[in-house]
C-alpha cells in the first residue's frame, strides 16, 4: 500500500504540475476546484500505480526477508516456497481484480468527469487566459503577448500566427484590443485596434532575407480556440475514457455499420480494432498486476537477497520494460491484420512465463 501510494503521489503531482498548477497560478482555477480535480486524478493514476506498487512492495518485503535469512529459516522448518508464495498470490489476484475494476469503470468515469470539471471551471472565467506580460501559448496556431489588461480591454498587444510546423506566417502589433468570449462556440475573439501587420510568403517562411509585406488595419479579429485546454463539447469521448459497457456498445455500433450496404469495411474494421485495442489494453494492464506479483517472488528471494536497496531499481526496470513493450505494440494500431489488440497480452503472459521458469529453478535450490 505504501508503494502504491508513493507512485500514485508522484503521478498525481506530475499531472497536477502539467495540467493544473499553471491554471491556479494564473488565477484561472479556484483552489476548491483544484483539489476536486486532484481527487479525480486518483483513479487515473491508480491504473499505473498498482502494477508498480505491487511489484515494488513484494520485492522489498521478500528481499528483506531473504537478506535477514528468514526465508532460510522457513525452509529449514520444512515450509515450501509455495507456502511462502500463497499470500502473495492471493494479494496479486485481488490487486488484479481491483485494477480491472479501476480500468474498466472508475478510471474512465473519473477521467471524463475530470475533463468536464476542468472545462466548466475554465468556461466560468475564460478571459483569465489572457495574462499580461506573459507569452500566451494556450491557443493553437497563435502566440500572444499583452502589455496591460483592464477587464476585456488590452493594451500593447503582440500577435504571431503560426503554421502547422510552428513557423511564423503572420505577425502584428496593436496599440489596443478587446477580447470577448463566445460561449456557444467555446472560443475567444480578440479584436485588435490600429494594428500593424506583416505577412511572410507562404513558400519562404524561414527565409528572413525576403522582405515582408506590411499593412495596417483599424480592426483585425482573431479567433482563439480553447479545445487544447478542455476540448469541444462536440468531440466524441476518447476510447481510453470509455467504460466496458460503452466500449461494448461502440463495438456493436460498428458491427451494425459494417452490415449496411455500401459501407467502407476497411475503415470500419480499423476503427473496430481500435475499440478492441482499448478494451484489451485495460484487461492486459490488470493481468500485469498479477504477473508482477508472481514474478517478484523468485526475484525477491534470489536476485536481490543481498542488496535490498536495488529492489526499487529492479522494479522500475521491469515496469519500464513492460510499458516499452506495450508502446511497441501501440505502433501497430494501423495494422489490424497483425492483431495488436491481442499482442497487448504478450508482455503480461511473457512475465508469467518468466516467473514460472524462475520458480522451477528456485525449487531446485
Q: Where are the domains of the chain?
A: 2-124+240-362, 139-227
Highest mean pLDDT of the ranges 35-44, 247-256, 278-287: 278-287
Per the CB < 8 A criterion, the answer to whether 169 and 200 are in contact is: yes
Phi, psi of 329 (to 5 degrees): -65, -35
C-alpha cell at 220: 483585425
Say what percent of the chain tops pLDDT 90. Answer: 11
Per the CB < 8 A criterion, the answer to whether 212 and 161 are in contact is: no
Per the CB < 8 A criterion, the answer to whether 19 and 230 are in contact is: no
Q: Which of 252, 250, 257, 318 is nearest to 278 (CA)?
A: 250
pLDDT at residue 303 tops 80: no
Q: Report the mean per-residue pLDDT for the chain.
A: 80
Average pLDDT on 33-47 reads 86
pLDDT band per the 50, 70, 90 thresholds, residue 144: confident
pLDDT band per the 50, 70, 90 thresholds, residue 189: confident
* DSSP H or E run through 162: strand 153-162
pLDDT of residue 82: 82
Say what percent of the chain tops pLDDT 70. Answer: 84
pLDDT at residue 109 tops 80: yes
Q: Annotate 115-157 with DSSP letters as a single string.
A: HHHHHHHHHHSGGGG--TTSEE--STTEEEEEEEEETTEEEEE
C-alpha cell at 221: 479579429
As a whole number of angstroms, the distance between CA 320 and CA 51 comes to: 11
Beta-bridge mates of residue 143: 160
pLDDT band per the 50, 70, 90 thresholds, residue 206: low
Residue-wise pLDDT tens digits, 207-225? 666 656 677 888 888 877 6
As a whole number of angstroms, the distance between CA 81 and CA 74 comes to: 9
**In sequence order, what E strands does 163-299 have?**
168-182, 187-199, 213-225
Average pLDDT on 99-118 reads 88
Phi, psi of 97 (to 5 degrees): -65, -40
pLDDT of residue 8: 86
Per the CB < 8 A criterion, the answer to whether 286 and 103 are in contact is: yes
pLDDT of residue 288: 92
Q: Exposed/middle/buried for 154, CB within 10 Å: 0-12, 13-18, 19+?
A: buried
Amino acid at each position: 500500500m505504501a508503494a502504491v501510494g508513493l507512485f500514485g503521489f508522484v503521478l498525481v503531482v506530475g499531472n497536477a504540475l502539467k495540467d493544473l498548477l499553471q491554471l491556479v497560478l494564473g488565477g484561472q482555477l479556484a483552489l476548491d476546484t483544484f483539489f476536486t480535480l486532484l481527487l479525480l486524478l486518483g483513479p487515473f493514476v491508480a491504473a499505473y500505480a498498482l502494477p508498480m506498487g505491487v511489484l515494488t512492495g513484494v520485492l522489498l518485503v521478500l528481499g528483506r526477508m531473504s537478506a535477514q535469512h528468514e526465508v532460510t529459516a522457513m525452509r529449514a522448518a520444512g515450509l515450501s516456497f509455495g507456502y511462502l508464495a500463497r499470500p502473495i498470490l492471493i494479494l496479486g489476484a485481488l490487486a488484479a481484480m481491483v485494477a480491472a475494476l479501476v480500468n474498466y469503470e472508475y478510471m474512465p468515469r473519473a477521467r471524463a468527469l475530470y475533463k468536464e470539471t476542468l472545462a466548466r471551471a475554465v468556461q466560468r472565467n475564460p478571459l483569465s487566459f489572457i495574462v499580461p506580460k506573459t507569452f500566451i501559448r494556450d491557443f493553437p496556431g497563435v502566440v500572444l503577448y499583452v502589455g496591460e489588461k483592464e477587464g476585456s480591454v488590452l493594451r500593447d498587444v503582440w500577435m504571431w500566427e503560426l503554421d502547422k510546423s510552428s513557423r511564423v506566417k503572420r505577425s502584428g502589433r496593436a496599440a489596443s484590443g478587446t477580447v470577448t468570449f463566445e460561449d456557444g462556440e467555446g472560443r475567444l475573439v480578440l479584436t485588435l485596434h490600429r494594428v500593424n501587420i506583416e505577412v511572410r510568403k507562404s513558400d519562404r517562411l524561414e527565409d528572413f532575407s525576403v522582405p515582408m509585406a506590411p499593412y495596417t488595419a483599424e480592426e483585425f479579429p482573431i479567433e482563439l480556440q480553447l479545445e487544447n485546454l478542455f476540448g469541444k463539447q462536440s468531440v466524441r469521448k476518447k476510447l481510453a475514457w470509455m467504460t466496458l459497457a460503452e466500449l461494448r456498445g461502440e463495438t456493436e455500433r460498428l458491427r451494425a455499420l459494417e452490415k449496411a450496404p455500401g459501407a467502407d469495411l476497411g475503415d470500419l474494421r480499423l476503427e473496430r480494432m481500435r475499440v478492441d485495442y482499448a478494451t484489451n489494453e485495460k484487461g492486459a494492464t490488470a493481468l500485469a498486476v498479477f504477473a508482477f506479483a508472481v514474478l517478484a517472488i523468485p526475484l525477491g528471494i534470489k536476485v536481490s537477497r543481498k542488496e535490498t536497496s536495488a529492489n526499487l531499481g529492479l522494479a522500475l526496470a521491469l515496469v519500464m520494460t513492460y510499458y516499452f513493450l506495450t508502446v511497441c505494440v501501440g505502433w501497430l494500431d494501423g495494422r489490424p491484420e497483425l492483431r495488436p489488440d491481442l499482442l497487448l497480452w504478450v508482455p503480461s503472459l511473457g512475465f508469467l512465463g518468466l516467473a514460472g521458469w524462475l520458480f522451477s529453478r528456485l525449487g531446485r535450490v
